[in-house]
Amino acid sequence: MAKNVYIFLADGFEDIEGLAVVDLMRRAGIRITTVSIMDKKEVVTSHHIALLADSLFDETDFSDADMLVLPGGMPGTKYLGEYESLARLLTQFDQKGGKIGAICAAPTVLASLGLLEGKKATAYPSCMDGLKGAEKSLEKVVTDGNITTSRGLGTAVDFALSLIEQLLGKEKADEIAESVVYTR
């Protein structure tokens, strides 16, 4: 049975952090849906690349979600953190033990909702102070319970492979790494 992942995009998200996750998960056979929290499907990355999200937040049913993912980047992370409907979804998903991933500045969104309280987590170096309540780590990727966090663009492939491993197993993650000539 295919796994369903939703990744939330806002103007100013970090290109590689979002698209590496989408690319590698799709290669693994995971149904990943890009969801715009803007009022339009066109989202402009932090490096001014326009792309079309698969759906708009208000038009998306998340009931089949196996994982929710937040890319970092500015001002994208700021917009994600201010979007109340996303905050409610993340909180409810966490309460059910649903898997959540966040990279770069985006772990601060989870911290602001209290989702990192007492958990080990990481973030972009200048965002580490925003991990209130978390046990801060300098590891590339940290999974504590149902939440996975990562440091930034340079760790995006490791982050994506970790998420794949959680959903489909180490063998599939290793297969995808090998297929893109990535050494874990």
Catalytic residue among 10, 67, 68, 104: 104
Q: Is 127 a catalytic residue?
A: no
DSSP string, the chain: ---EEEEEE-TT--HHHHHHHHHHHHHTT-EEEEEE-SSSSEEE-TTS-EEE-SEEGGG---TT-SEEEE---TTHHHHHHH-HHHHHHHHHHHHTT-EEEEETTTHHHHHHTTTTTTSEE---GGGGGG-TTSEE--SSEEEETTEEEE-SGGGHHHHHHHHHHHHH-HHHHHHHHHHTT---
**Separation CA 53–CA 102 (nearest Å):** 18
Residue type, 169: G
Instruction: Establish how many alpha carbons lie within 13 A of residue 106's alpha carbon, considering only the half-sphere containing its beta carbon.
Output: 35
- Active-site positions? 104
